[in-house]
Amino acid sequence: MCGIVGFIGEPIKGKIITGALKKLEYRGYDSWGVAFLSGKKITFFKAVGEINGIPKKIQEIKSGLAIGHTRWATHGKINEVNAHPHVSAGNKLTLVHNGIIENFSELKKELCSHNFCSETDSEVVLHLIEENLSKGMDLLHSVSKSVSVLKGSFSLLVFSSDEPDKLIAVKNESPLLLGISDKGIFAASDQIPLSSFTDKFVFLEDKDIALISKNKFQCFDFDLNKVERKILKVKSDVTSSGKLKYSHFMLKEIMEQPFVLRNALEQEKKIFNEIFLMMKNSSVFFIANGTSFNASLFGKEFFSRISGIFPQVIDASEFPYQVDFLPKNSLIFALSQSGETADVLDSVKKAKKKGFKIVSMVNVFNSSLARASDKVIYLNCGEEIGVASTKAFTSQIALLYLLASSCAGKFDSALTELKKVFLKMQQSIELNKNSIKFLSEKFKSVKDVYFIGRSLNYPLALEAALKLKEISYIHAEAFPAGSLKHGPLALISDGVPVIVVAPKDSVFSDTINNAIEAKSRGAFIVGIGDEENPVFDFFIKIPKVKELLFPLILIPPLQLLAFHTAVFLERNPDKPRNLAKVCTVK
């Protein structure tokens, strides 16, 4: 969940490190810190909150060896003491960590002679390395011996003032890569903070230790046997060069969805055909978390209706408890924007042990999930910086529809249909920009919002509720419209908003009847669809499209509703409290 960055090479200004770290804030923004080798000593700075108000001396400091960290708290309160980097008592060793050390309590007891300053699990690793250094080992061997006793997920960056020509990077079940530049070698949690410095990357594998100097690197396993890791050239993504004219990344990413859809559809038909051959005689299980889980529900609907394949959807955090009971011909279809979601990767690892085939749909090139898969469909939607996923969701829906159609021999016709949706999606956004703002301002004072829908519209209601709750902090829930009478109607009282996802489709009449039931109990009914109805107190109009494509037109206004509500409540939709973009802990 945290973000880490490091550098070794020609002396650079501190603002390059803090600037790179700023681009990792979507991974965590509880606290942050940096450490530089300045002469023969380590200079460090730590602060609580977002990366703002950076002291001039930190921005202007020149160093050829540095590490930084932006934190999403897992162990210990949010304060400067628990912020990274952690620095040894003698100020000679420093470390940043992303992940969770599961056996830190036991290790801490073994290190009882050491003085611990923080409540974090990460500081245990610092003292382990320090203990091994005290026994006469060099830094590389001290790190190797230390990580061999760790249990859990971790990526680490470590340096010592006693060995100023070395930066050590360690990866195990948390993402870490190297970026090879003219100035030196960077390390970071992902490519985003490094893309302005290089297009050459080394993707470390689990149980890798990289020994990095100014102009070269060597990779080893935890026993210090040499392993080869290739330098890959990765094309820079031009769709995410800042917020442009928008106030927030989330708004930018919502508004660019029509254009993103066109990029997402740049797919090779051959890959889709190959995946169909894998799926046709398999028991298919979608696994995902959060927004990707909601997208998987659409996949289930599309495949069932179009191709005659009947997948099941399992939350990735629950999959490990079911994997032993799945049939031998299972195919696991994993969805993840980042490709680094810990629950998904853990599930895939367990599925591979059972011999199951793995297909993934992911946005980030060469991510851990992509590398673990037999076949990959890339979303091609560009960097998504806002913590709440938007454009990745629409790309997932579009590509799941295309894949389901391809499995029915209709790839070309589906591609043509989806390309026509581009203009309709634009209209859906333009038609509702002002009315959504008006409705959002009304929502400022509400405590609860309920979303209902039937069939394809139910997963859409789930996603709309997720968006509203995660960035506005308003309690929001979604229900199948027909289930209101089985309990949720007890929650309805005068003025409570109920948002009814009701395009004019095959379930429209039944959905309207459920809306009438809610209104009779005093609900304020907001309808979203292509045809108004007297039951609606407020109506969000969208263009008419084919029934199975309605989700692509319906979702942008619902995302805008969540966004503007958060803004009216003076909450930052890009960085919702307690959340992070990439969930690299289970």
In degrees and rounded to multiples of 5, residue 241 shows phi and psi of -85, 65
Q: Tell me the H-state helices in 316-410.
A: 342-353, 368-372, 391-407
Cα–Cα distance list, 323 to 315, 327, 333, 356 (Å) = 12, 9, 13, 10
Rounded CA separation 120/191 (Å): 27
Nearest residue to 258 via CA among 472, 428, 416: 428
Tell me whether domains 237-409 and 432-571 share a fold. Answer: yes
User: Catalytic: which of 219, 407, 581, 583?
Assistant: 581
Contacts of residue 234, Cβ cutoff 8 Å, sequence gap at least 6: 191, 199, 200, 201, 365, 366
Distance CA 46, CA 33 (A): 4
Does residue 586 have a pLDDT over 80? no
Between 402 and 244, residue with greater pLDDT: 402
Query: Do residues 20 and 68 make contact, with C-beta atoms less than 8 angstroms apart?
Result: yes
H or E stretch at 254: helix 249-255
**Number of C-alpha atoms within 13 angstroms, CB side, residue 398?**
33
- Which helix (H) or strand (E) segment holds residue 492: the answer is none
> For residue 225, is pLDDT > 50?
yes
Does 581 participate in catalysis according to the annotation? yes
The angle that helices 550-568 and 457-472 make with each other, rounded to 10 degrees, is 20
Query: DSSP class of residue 409?
Result: T
Quote the CA–CA distance of 353 and 426 in Å, as a whole number. 45
pLDDT tens for residues 262-317? 999 999 999 999 999 999 999 999 999 999 999 999 999 999 999 999 999 999 99
Q: Which CATH class is domain 237-409?
A: alpha beta
d(CA 68, CA 34): 4
What pLDDT is stored for residue 232 in this prediction?
Answer: 93
The CATH H-level (homologous superfamily) assignment of domain 432-571 is: Glucose-6-phosphate isomerase like protein; domain 1 (3.40.50.10490)
In the block, tokens 């669809």 appear at 529
Alpha helices by DSSP H, 7-120: 14-22, 56-60, 104-110
Which amino acid would we find at residue 300? Answer: K
**Which amino acid does the sequence have at 125?**
V
Query: Domains of the chain: which residue ranges?
Result: 3-233, 237-409, 432-571
How far is Cα 86 from Cα 98, in angstroms, rounded to an integer?
12
Cβ neighbourhood burial of 543 (10 Å; 0-12, 13-18, 19+): middle
- As a whole number, mean pLDDT of residues 365-387 equals 94
Question: Would the pTM count as exceeding 0.85?
Answer: yes
Quickly tell me which residue has 């973000």 as its tokens.
3
Using alpha carbons, select from 148, 154, 78 the residue that is nearest to residue 121.
154
The answer for residues whose C-beta is within 8 angstroms of residue 368's C-beta and 6 or more apart is 175, 339, 340, 345
Place of tokens 């410095």: 197
Note the pLDDT of residue 75.
86
Helices within 443-549 (DSSP H only) = 457-472, 508-520
Q: Residues 6 or more apart from 28 whose CB is under 8 A from it?
A: 1, 2, 3, 70, 71, 72, 73, 580
- What local confidence, expressed as pLDDT, does residue 26 receive? 85
pLDDT at 238: 45
**Which two structure tokens, joined as six digits, stand for 12?**
């650079």
Strands 330-336 and 283-288 turn out to be: parallel
Question: What percent of the chain shows pLDDT beyond 70?
Answer: 98
Query: 380-418: per-residue pLDDT in tens?
Result: 999 899 999 999 999 999 999 999 999 999 999 999 999
Annotated catalytic residue 381: no
Residues 460-518 pLDDT 10s: 999 999 999 999 999 999 999 999 999 999 999 999 999 999 999 999 999 999 999 99
**pLDDT band at residue 585, thresholds of 50, 70 and 90?**
low
- Beta-strand relationship, 86-87 and 93-101: antiparallel
Mean per-residue pLDDT over the chain, rounded:
94
Q: How confident is the model at residue 243 (pLDDT cuts 50, 70, 90)?
A: confident
Report the candidate in 477, 542, 469, 458 with the shortest Cα–Cα distance to residue 504: 542
CATH architecture of the domain formed by 3-233: 4-Layer Sandwich (3.60)
Q: How many CB atoms lie within 10 A of CB 549?
A: 21
pLDDT tens profile 7-47: 999 999 999 999 999 999 988 889 999 999 998 899 999 99
Contacts of 341 (CB under 8 A, 6+ apart): 289, 292, 316, 369, 582, 583, 584
Does an H or E element contain 387, and which? none
pLDDT of 416 reads 95
Q: What is the pLDDT of residues 181-208, one digit of tens each?
A: 999 999 999 998 999 899 999 999 999 9
- Enumerate helices (H) and strands (E) in the chain, giving the number of each: 16, 25
What gap in Å lies between CA 538 and CA 435, rounded to an integer?
Answer: 9
C-alpha span between 148 and 223 (Å, rounded)? 8
Selection from 372, 562, 539, 542 nearest residue 466 by Cα: 562
Residue 125 has pLDDT above 60, yes or no: yes
pLDDT at residue 242 tops 90: no
Q: What percent of the chain has pLDDT over 90?
A: 88
- 278, 393 contact by CB (below 8 A): no
User: Which one of the listed residues 2, 381, 407, 583 is annotated catalytic?
Assistant: 2
pLDDT at 28: 86
CA angle in degrees (0–180, nearest 5) for 338-339-340: 85
pLDDT at 240 over 70: no
Q: Per residue in 520-566, pLDDT tens?
A: 999 999 999 999 999 999 999 999 999 999 999 999 999 999 999 99
